[in-house]
Homo-oligomer: A and B are copies of this chain.
Amino acid sequence: MDTLNIAILGCGTVGGGIAKIITEINNELSIRAKTNIVLKNIVELCPEKAAERFNIPLNLFCGGGKDLTGDEANQYIKEIISSKEIDLVVETIGGKSDFVYNLCLEILNSGKHLVTANKALLAERGKAIFEAAEKNNVKIGFEAAVCGAIPIIKTIQEGLTGDLIQSVSGIMNGTSNYILTQMQNEKLEFNDALKMAQESGYAEADPLLDINGGDAGHKLTLLIKLAFGVDVSKEDLYISGIQDITKEDIDFASEIDAKIKLICYAKKVNGVIYATVRPMLVKNSNFLSEVNGTTNAVRINNKYSGIHFLVGKGAGSTETAMSIVSDIVFIARYGDKIQNIPAKQVCNLANPGQFVFSYLITFHTGNLPGTTGFIATAIGNQGINIETVSHNRHSGEKAVFSVATTPCTFGQVENAIKEIRNQKPGMLLSEPKIMPILY
């Protein structure tokens, strides 16, 4: 039986989970891979803490278990990269720093396979990394980089190869979804729900990348590469987060039988890709509306086989680690027959103004007769049909109401608002909020 020797760089939440699984079910993994899966080395600054947390033997750590300085750790990493014995390196240091970027290139250039959960690195600086893998005929496993435990990458790369993907959408950031679920169920405002998420350990002290859509954007970038064979970068996508969602928005959503979710969305129509990450009103008839808390879900619409849903844990130690270990088994089994990324296709990205959705537009106005009629007329003047107008939340001198449209472009909606502003400069007390409705 062949042997696959592995080193893990970084033994935190994910790295530790990997070492734990490989240690606990090593025999099963080796049988499945028809290859001895051998964990040779772990490089970690504080091995004792990690060994205790994950119940892994201290002798697996470079340095025999004593704490390492940064320089010592770097020296061990260099030895691993130059070692002829190691076949595959797991990078679980994280981040998109030059250090990690160069490290990944060196791993690949030394002829070793790379397995990583590093979505930021692959989404923002992935091009050179994938090219290095091609050049050196080694593989990159990154199942754990998109939606933690959900095997979405192998599903696209291996499970749905008999089809053409038309759209990919989903809930891919557990922190945002937890906050929105709390806002919905406990009738909280955003800041209170965020505080709750932080207290429960579901949001970082600095939650920016989770709540501003950046993390979800990284995942969507990778899925677009896989589903459509197109190389996009996060900057190409229209991304907006959940920071501005209010209790009122959730209330208006309920009125049209919908829930607000941070949705990753990419659709290919006539060779053009429409891709965005933003809060949407998901109709209760769409399965994604039922995905609550930190759970992740991906919806794929295919030409021949219709709609598929995958639901699972989007984060967590052994949850994410499981995807990495599955990548290791996959590489052990199929080695250089694996295709890292599909052939590259040329494709244009639509600008946000071209996006066709039904939209919900929420207006804050003075409490004056004729307002609803004027706004509805302005919307109609842009060729947009109105589906419903909400119950108006009058209060003193102010009025708040929302208008749900039938499908139209975002540009049409923006033009309608421009017309209202031009013709009645004082009518809108604030910028109307525009959110797509997902059926």
Closest to A155 in B: B151
Chain B nearest CB from A171 CB (Å) reads: 13
Given the known inter-chain contacts A308-B150, A308-B312, please indicate yes or no for A323 contacting B162, CB distance below 8 A.
Answer: yes
CA A154 – CA B34 in complex, angstroms?
17
Stretch of A181-189, A264-272, A326-334, A412-420 that contacts chain B: A326-334
Return the contact of A324 from the options B148, B162, B306, B323 (Cβ within 8 A).
B162
Could you mark each residue 183-207 of chain A with 1 if its beta carbon is under 8 Å from any beta carbon of chain B, else 0? Answer: 0000000000000000000000000
Instruction: Tell me if A158 counts as interface (CB < 8 A to partner B).
Output: yes
Given the known inter-chain contacts A326-B158, A337-B333, please indicate yes or no for A342 contacting B32, CB distance below 8 A.
Answer: yes
Could you mark each residue 311-341 of chain A with 1 if its beta carbon is under 8 Å from any beta carbon of chain B, else 0? Answer: 1110010110111111111100110010100
CA A32 – CA B158 in complex, angstroms?
10
Closest to A318 in B: B304
Given the known inter-chain contacts A159-B151, A329-B162, A342-B32, please indicate yes or no for A322 contacting B308, CB distance below 8 A.
Answer: no
Closest to A310 in B: B310
Residue among A148, A161, A164 facing the most chain B CB atoms (10 A cut-off): A161
B337 touches A162 (CB 8 A): no
B326 touches A163 (CB 8 A): yes
Instruction: Tell me if A25 counts as interface (CB < 8 A to partner B).
Output: yes
A308 touches B305 (CB 8 A): no
B309 touches A161 (CB 8 A): no
> Which of chain B's residues have a CB closer than 8 A to the CB of A324?
162
CA A329 – CA B316 in complex, angstroms?
33
CA A287 – CA B312 in complex, angstroms?
11
CA A220 – CA B149 in complex, angstroms?
23
Could you mark each residue 10-36 of chain A with 1 if its beta carbon is under 8 Å from any beta carbon of chain B, else 0? Answer: 000000010001000100110111100
Interface set, chain A 265-290, CB cutoff 8 A to B: 287, 290
Chain B nearest CB from A416 CB (Å) reads: 36
Categorize the interface residue count of chain A. 35 or more
Return the contact of A159 from the options B155, B290, B305, B306 (Cβ within 8 A).
B155
Chain B nearest CB from A410 CB (Å) reads: 30
Instruction: Tell me if A382 counts as interface (CB < 8 A to partner B).
Output: no
Chain B nearest CB from A164 CB (Å) reads: 6
> Which of chain B's residues have a CB closer than 8 A to the CB of A329?
161-162
Interface set, chain A 100-158, CB cutoff 8 A to B: 143, 148-151, 154-155, 158
Residue among A143, A304, A313, A327 facing the most chain B CB atoms (10 A cut-off): A304
Instruction: Tell me if A245 counts as interface (CB < 8 A to partner B).
Output: no
A149 touches B21 (CB 8 A): no
B306 touches A319 (CB 8 A): yes
CA A329 – CA B143 in complex, angstroms?
20
Given the known inter-chain contacts A160-B151, A304-B318, please indicate yes or no for A312 contacting B309, CB distance below 8 A.
Answer: yes
A154 touches B162 (CB 8 A): no
> Which of chain B's residues have a CB closer than 8 A to the CB of A312?
305-309
Instruction: Tell me if A302 counts as interface (CB < 8 A to partner B).
Output: yes
CA A264 – CA B327 in complex, angstroms?
29
B28 touches A164 (CB 8 A): yes
Given the known inter-chain contacts A151-B160, A333-B337, please indicate yes or no for A304 contacting B326, CB distance below 8 A.
Answer: no
Instruction: Tell me if A343 counts as interface (CB < 8 A to partner B).
Output: yes
Binding site for B on A (CB under 8 A): 17, 21, 25, 28-29, 31-34, 143, 148-151, 154-155, 158-164, 287, 290, 302, 304-313, 316, 318-319, 321-330, 333-334, 337, 339, 342-343
Known contacts A154-B159, A304-B319, A309-B312; can you find 6 more A-B pairs with CB under 8 A?
A31-B343, A148-B305, A162-B325, A162-B326, A162-B328, A308-B312
Minimum-distance CB pairs A-B, first 6: A162-B325, A151-B159, A149-B305, A162-B326, A305-B322, A309-B311
Return 27 A-B CB contacts under 8 Å, by A number.
Answer: A21-B304, A25-B164, A29-B161, A29-B162, A32-B342, A143-B159, A149-B302, A151-B155, A151-B159, A154-B154, A154-B155, A154-B158, A158-B326, A159-B159, A160-B326, A161-B325, A162-B326, A162-B328, A305-B322, A306-B319, A307-B312, A308-B312, A309-B310, A309-B312, A311-B311, A334-B334, A334-B337
